[in-house]
Each structure stands twice: as C-alpha cells, then as structure tokens.
C-alpha cells in the first residue's frame, strides 16, 4: 500500500545498475516511478566503477542529504555505508540508510527484516523508524600490502570465504552462472586449511587449522547461509563462528546445516561472542583472504572491532 503523504526528507538514491546480474538497471524505470509515489523529490545517481557509491554517498551527506537509499546488493550497501564516514567519524550522525534489496544475495536485508519486493521495501523505508545498529570496523592488508580500514554492517570472514568470492568473481567475468554453494564446493576441493592465531578480547585461542572464521554482526551470508543464527545487530557483540578443518566428505555431509542454522552443534564448529578479534597467519608466506560484506577485499593479518549502536538504518529490528 502506498502512502497518502509523501516523504519530505532530502533524499539521495544510489543505484548499482549491474547488480542482480544487470536486472537492477533494466527495471530502473519502474523503480523510479514507485519512488515518486513515496518521495516528494529525490536525486539519484548510478554507480559506474568500484567504490563509486562511497563517493556519491559522502558527497550527498555533505550536501545535506538526510536519507540515503541503496538500490543494489550487499556490496553496494557496504560502499554506501562507508561513505557515511570521514576520518573515522560520521559526517552527519542523523543521516539514515534505506535499503531496496536488488542483488543476488541481499543477506543483510534478511537480518534487518526487510521483505523482498519493491513496494514492501519502500513501505519499510517510509514507515519504519531509524534504528540504531552496530557496525564492525576491520583493519587488514590490501592486495598491495598496505594497511586499509573498512566498515562492515553484516559479516566479514577469513579463510575459504574470500577464495569462494574470488572464484565467483572470475566466473562472473567469464559470464558463467555460479551459485555460492557450487563455488564453495569447487573451492573446497583444492583449498588448504590455514593455521591461524586468533585472539578474542585479548584472550588467545590455541593455534589451529581453520577453514573459515565469520565475524558476524548479522545472521546470514553466502546467499542464504545462516552462519550466525543467533546474531543481533544491536547487542554490541560479534557472534564469532570458527570452523576448523574438515575432510571433503565431512564437509559435504554438513554443508546443508549452515543453511538451516543447525551447524553450531558440530564438534569442529565453535561460537564465541566478543568485541575485538585479532587474526594472523602462522605462516607469513601464505595468503589468507578476507571477505567484507560479500566482497573480497584483502588478506590477513586483520583486526575486527565492534562499534556499538553507531549507524541509523530504516528497519524494524
């Protein structure tokens, strides 16, 4: 149901036309008409290159935008959210993020209880109060070997996850269809578990071989995997899910459990809650990739820090 009174907030729409395999751009005309029903006026801009959404978001907030709406997937949302900040501080702490899910995964939207469908999402943006959620800040090595810092709203992980995204990106370049699960299994065949050192809130865990570690603010990643089924976006804690090395048969027999969220009882999977996670490879010569909100960003060593109740999103938590 559309609103009788249109929203008066100064609004910037950021559209990733390539998201959802290009379908976001193709249906923009319809999306734009629906937005006009909800908003008295708004500006919109299409992203044209990596990190363009960061630039657009930052400029819009400096120009007084009170609401930034993402029309894209999790990667687009992450870039927009990073644009809210300058010198590690929010440009305008009162600016809110609105989300129209339009990607292949849209995992964060599920944790935010944002329903699928354009009109449903716009109703949430129009009617839901700005809700304060936690964010994560990760410092890591980029592929040039330099220290880099980035914000994440949903999940950042290390280990096989980054390799899976790397494989999916290559498949996308070759214009092949590839599901996350299929890529995960194909990657697993050749993946070598990494021996890592991990420290959580200052407490060192025994060095061990890990397949993946998920630093979870939200519940879901990998296009529907409920990796941290009990995670809450506003509790001030990460749900840190650590999966130690498995043989391929053991992994294939248990992979489905991650989709149902029933995997935490497995003896090789542990859940720890904390505010700061430090991870480093025992073998300095071996790259261990990290993933940030669905994008392969760099490698270990990395430090993940909780920033509690620091970001406004239009959603019902």
User: pLDDT digit string (tens) for 131-161?
Assistant: 999 999 999 999 899 999 999 999 999 999 8
Look at residues 261, 50, 74, 60 and name the one whose alpha carbon lies nearest to residue 153.
74
In a shared domain, residues 121 and 151: no
In a shared domain, residues 122 and 144: no
Does the pTM surpass 0.95? The reply is no
In a shared domain, residues 161 and 69: no
Least confident among 13-17, 37-41, 204-208, 224-228: 37-41
In a shared domain, residues 94 and 228: no
- Residue 90 CA, chain-centre distance (Å), reads 19
Which residues constitute the domain of residue 99? 11-128
In a domain, 3, yes or no: no
Q: What SS3 state is found at 136?
A: strand
Confidence of residue 178 (pLDDT cuts 50, 70, 90): low
In a shared domain, residues 164 and 286: yes
In a shared domain, residues 114 and 147: no
Task: Determine the pLDDT at residue 172.
Answer: 62
In a shared domain, residues 190 and 237: yes
Task: Determine the pLDDT at residue 37.
Answer: 92
In a domain, 6, yes or no: no
Over residues 177-196, the mean pLDDT reads 80
Rounded to 5°, angle at Cα 25 from 24 and 30: 80
Q: In this prediction, what percent of the chain has a pLDDT beyond 90?
A: 77
In a domain, 256, yes or no: yes
Domain boundary among 128, 157, 184: 128
In a shared domain, residues 24 and 123: yes
In a domain, 22, yes or no: yes
For residue 17, the domain's CATH number is 3.40.50.10330
Between these two residues, 187 and 180, which has the higher pLDDT value?
A: 187
Domain boundary among 111, 128, 145: 128
Q: Who's near 48: CB < 8 A, 6+ residues apart?
A: none
In a domain, 182, yes or no: yes
The whole-chain average pLDDT of the chain stands at 92
Res. 173: pLDDT tops 70? no
Tell me how far apart the alpha carbons of residues 270 and 208 are, in angstroms, rounded to a whole number: 13
Q: How far is CA 208 from CA 170, 205, 251, in A?
A: 30, 8, 18
Task: Determine the pLDDT at residue 6.
Answer: 65
Between these two residues, 156 and 190, which has the higher pLDDT value?
A: 156
In a shared domain, residues 160 and 214: yes
Res. 261: pLDDT tops 50? yes
Instruction: Say how many domains are in the chain.
Output: 2
Torsion of CA 86, 53, 41, 62, to 10 degrees: 20
Res. 1: pLDDT tops 70? no
Domain boundary among 82, 107, 128: 128
In a shared domain, residues 180 and 253: yes
For residue 257, the domain's CATH number is 2.60.200.40
Res. 295: pLDDT tops 70? yes
In a shared domain, residues 95 and 171: no
In a shared domain, residues 156 and 293: yes
- Residue 3 CA, chain-centre distance (Å), reads 30
Q: Partners of 67 in the beta sheet?
A: 11, 96
Over residues 263-272, the mean pLDDT reads 97
Tell me how far apart the alpha carbons of residues 99 and 152 are, in angstroms, rounded to a whole number: 15
In a domain, 43, yes or no: yes
In a domain, 4, yes or no: no
């Amino acid at each position: 149901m559309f609103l009788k009174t249109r929203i008066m907030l100064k609004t910037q729409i950021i559209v990733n036309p390539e998201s959802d395999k290009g379908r976001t751009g193709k249906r923009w005309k319809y999306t734009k008409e629906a937005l006009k029903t909800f908003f008295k006026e708004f500006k919109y801009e299409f992203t044209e290159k990596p990190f363009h959404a960061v630039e657009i978001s930052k400029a819009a907030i400096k120009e007084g935008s009170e609401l930034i709406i993402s029309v894209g997937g999790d990667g687009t949302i992450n870039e927009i959210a990073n644009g809210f900040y300058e010198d590690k501080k929010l440009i305008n702490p009162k600016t809110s993020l609105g989300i129209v899910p339009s990607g292949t995964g849209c995992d964060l939207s599920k944790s935010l209880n944002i329903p699928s469908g354009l009109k449903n999402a716009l109703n949430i943006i129009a009617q839901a109060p700005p809700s304060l959620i936690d964010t994560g800040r990760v410092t890591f090595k980029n592929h040039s070997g330099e220290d880099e810092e980035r914000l994440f709203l949903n999940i950042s992980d290390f280990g096989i996850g980054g390799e899976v995204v790397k494989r999916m990106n290559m498949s996308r370049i070759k214009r092949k269809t590839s599901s996350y699960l299929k890529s995960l299994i194909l990657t697993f065949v050749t993946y070598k578990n990494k021996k890592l050192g991990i420290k959580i809130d200052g407490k060192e865990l025994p060095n061990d071989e890990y397949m993946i570690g998920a630093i979870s603010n939200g519940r879901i990643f990998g296009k529907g995997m409920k990796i941290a089924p009990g995670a809450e976006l506003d509790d001030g804690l990460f749900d840190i899910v650590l999966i130690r090395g498995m043989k391929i048969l053991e992994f294939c027999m248990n992979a489905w459990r991650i989709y149902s969220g029933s995997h935490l009882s497995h003896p090789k999977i542990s859940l720890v809650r904390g505010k700061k996670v430090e991870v480093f490879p025992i073998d300095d010569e071996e790259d261990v990739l990290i993933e940030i909100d669905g994008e392969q960003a760099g490698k270990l060593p990395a430090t993940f820090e909780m920033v509690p109740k620091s970001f406004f999103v239009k959603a019902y938590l």
